[in-house]
Amino acid sequence: MGYLDNLIIDTDNYKHCHYPLYPKGTEYVSSYIESRGGLFPVTMFVGLQVYLREKLMKPITLEDIDEAEFVVREQGMHFNRENWLGILNDHGGYLPVEIEAVPEGTVLPARNVLVQVVNTDPRYFWATSFFETALLRAVWYPSTIGTVSWLSKMVIKEALDRTADSSAGLRFMLHDYGARGVSSQQSAALGGLAHLVNFDQSDTVPGILAAKRYYNAGKVSNSGPNAEHAGFCAWGRDDEVGAIRNMLETYAPEGCALVLTDTYDHENCVKNIIGGELKEMVQNFPGLVGVRPDSGDIVQVTADTTGWLMDIFGYTVNSKGFKVLPPFIRVVQGDGVNFHSLPQVYMELERRGFSAENAVFGMGGGLLQHWNRDTMNFGQKASAVCVDGQWREIAKSPTGAAFKASKRGRLALKREDGVYTTVPKGSIPESENVLQPVFRDGKLLRKWDFTELIANSEKEVPESYYIDHVGPMRTVSSEMAVSA
């Protein structure tokens, strides 16, 4: 969609009328981006580098200015051609701004500065806020998806810590199935790469490609042969066993076959086909057979299927006293999995004495689409202006929405004893400022590698970052003790 690439009109129309609204003598404008709270207490920051490389490192052209003038004036909006000719002639078409940001992949509490922008040429003080629309969009979406994925990872880790002997397989336990459930291919790319910071499982190809293109990622994802209903239905209801046998035979060399079992009657398929006619074939499969219910109540069907498979194929009991299926078979649940249902599934497995390692999961729209900017109340606000050589701290403080009160002044981010705090710029040595310059005047100053994003996301954090989400899981033990 190249016709949308013009930076000058990748904004709200009204941005073009803002430059004369600043006080005379304005030289610099500084603004910042933060999550102002909302559904989650933390933010996993990710995605800015995509925007910098894809948009801000490409200069505007005279043709861009001509197109923008025609489009903007046609809408009845003011357009200052001289401003843009100045950027073209004085700065080679690159926006004269500097951007500082938190290292990507970092997880930190909400209401802290994540990005800070200031113009570098006093003649173009308006540039700071001009591209807010695109910049905020580039940050809020992948950071929100990354946060959803990270908190889901904390749920899975909690479940494994409670019921399994090892959490070594943590990064393989939540698959991204969201490509078809998002509003655009670009969303699939940004949300998909954000999920890959936390997990090594995805079928969202745009996300894999984005991680490689913008973050120098190597092998970041795994997938495997996975059935769909079209292929199974083609065999007809009377030959469901033939469809499954064919899949097991076809993908035995791959060592993986994720078999749909709800094409008709899930319980019958598990008990009488997987555990009946094809039981010996499943037991001797050279790898993993995934039994995949794709409908029904996610909590009950996941736990029921695990129990049926244990009745058929047996189980061992791990050191924590929980039952574990043989290594050749697992439940694969990808229907109805979302941020809220995932903890419920693990709680039910634990109540029944089943280890969390018996099931792996996939999320689709619940991972990449069920969120918006208000989920984490993302906003970009001006916090300081320099007028006639004097910096002024500025902020908004609306009476009708206290959470929209903004920060004042030029900002820095301090991390001391594991605690992040937004502080005035200059109050700490710049060497201690977590915000790092990443872009200036068309040039990338810091390039993050995908391995760095992963390492940042996996740093130890206080339990307070995720306890609200995993806390209910800790009530299961007390319930079990009472019932015992």
β-bridge pairing 323-324 and 288-292 = unpaired
> How many helices and strands, by DSSP H and E, does the chain display?
17, 18
Q: Which two tokens stand for residue 450?
A: 């995908």
Q: Which two tokens stand for residue 30?
A: 């500084």
Distance, CA of 168 to CA of 164 (rounded, Å) = 10
Q: Characterise 312 by phi-psi region: left (phi > 0), alpha (psi -120 to 50), beta (else).
A: alpha
- Annotated binding residues for beta-nicotinamide D-ribonucleotide, written as ranges, equal 203, 292-294, 334-335, 365, 373
**Across the chain, which distance is largest between two alpha carbons, in Å?**
84
- Annotated binding residues for diphosphate, written as ranges, equal 180, 229, 292
> CA torsion angle for 342, 204, 35, 38 (degrees, to 10)?
-30
Distance, CA of 468 to CA of 161 (rounded, Å) = 17
Distance, CA of 326 to CA of 145 (rounded, Å) = 34
Distance, CA of 49 to CA of 73 (rounded, Å) = 32
Give yes or no for a contact between 128 and 118, defined as CB atoms under 8 angstroms apart: yes
- Annotated binding residues, written as ranges, equal 180, 203, 229, 292-294, 334-335, 365, 373
Distance, CA of 424 to CA of 412 (rounded, Å) = 6
